[in-house]
Amino acid sequence: MELDFTSIGKAIRKKRKQLKYTQAHLSALTDLGVTYISHIESGSTIPSLKTFVNILNSLDLSADEVLRGPEWNGEGEANGSAAGLVKKCGTRDTLIITDTVTALNAESKFRLRLRGRTSPPW
């Protein structure tokens, strides 16, 4: 399965606009440049996993919501999305993925505390 970074960017942009955030506001929440966020939203830049999770946490958005795309069957089962791919993994790989996402989430929360927040601004 090949990721569609244009669709990922559109999903990020859609959620940002639903929250009535400007790119500048998201930039401040994530410590990323406005131009970089614009490039991610247009699909012209591929963010690192750490950056991706940081943006998702700042928008209170799940990776599954962004990655599932048109392959989602609408019944909670993913066909090619992150959840579907994890389901195909063995126990060891699933634990590695879980530990990685947990660590990234903890780092995002730590960054919020450094900014004097205990939770995202929403």
Tell me what pLDDT residue 120 has: 58
Structure tokens belonging to residue 78: 């993913």
Mean pLDDT of 82-109: 81
Among candidate residues 48, 57, 47, the one with its CA nearest the CA of residue 105: 57
pLDDT of 61 higher than 60: yes
pLDDT tens readout for residues 29-43: 999 999 999 999 999
Q: How far is CA 84 from CA 44, 81, 96, 109, in A?
A: 26, 5, 16, 26
Classified as helix, coil or strand, 72 is: strand
Q: State the Cα–Cα distance between residues 23 and 58, nearest whole angstrom.
A: 12
Domains of the chain: 5-114 (1.10.260.40)
Tell me what pLDDT residue 71 has: 52
Q: pTM of the entire structure?
A: 0.58
Tell me what pLDDT residue 101 has: 83
